[in-house]
Amino acid sequence: YMAVPVEEFCDNKLRMMGNTKQWLSDNMPAADEPSDGYITIMGEQQILDKMHHMMEQAEKRVYLSASGTRIAEMEQDIYELLQKKIKVVLLSDKIPERLKTAGKENQVRLISDSKYVLTGELTGSSRDICLYSGQRVFVDALKEAMRNEIKLIELTGKKKKAKGEA
């Protein structure tokens, strides 16, 4: 064993992964198009990977409801969406006051292009679980729930301003 500089070690690993990716692309059967069914995704990392992929594949808009901590962890993905001129709507406890949510620190909801949804809890555990679907009825129901939540937040904000609260 001989230690090598970190940069060389990482370059070797990235090159190896690139070769593996090429081999898999050449030899794997074609993936099926996502179905309109439901898929349960378990484990924090698997859920985060799916969320990253959904945002990466978005073409028009993304709705994301999560805690401020989770939003901060996804800041780069959100920034890239904005760079691609994709509409992003965030519901969180750490963004503008009128969009605050309460009691949902571990809840995460993501809608991509009004086609796919992911919803569940992210606590940081390998036992975390989310539901992913392209089922039109489910997508529409979650969109409507998020619209209602935004409306309630707006109405609550207006009510506080009318009472003189800030």
Per-residue pLDDT tens over the stretch 103-131: 567 788 989 998 999 998 888 888 889 99
Q: Compute the distance between CA of residue 60 and CA of residue 86 in angstroms, rounded to an integer.
A: 5
What pTM value is reported for the model?
Answer: 0.62
- Identify the CA nearest to 61 among candidates 37, 32, 90: 90
Handedness of CA 68, 152, 41, 84 (dihedral sign): negative
Over residues 28-67, the pLDDT tens digits come to 887 666 556 778 889 989 999 999 999 999 999 898 888 8
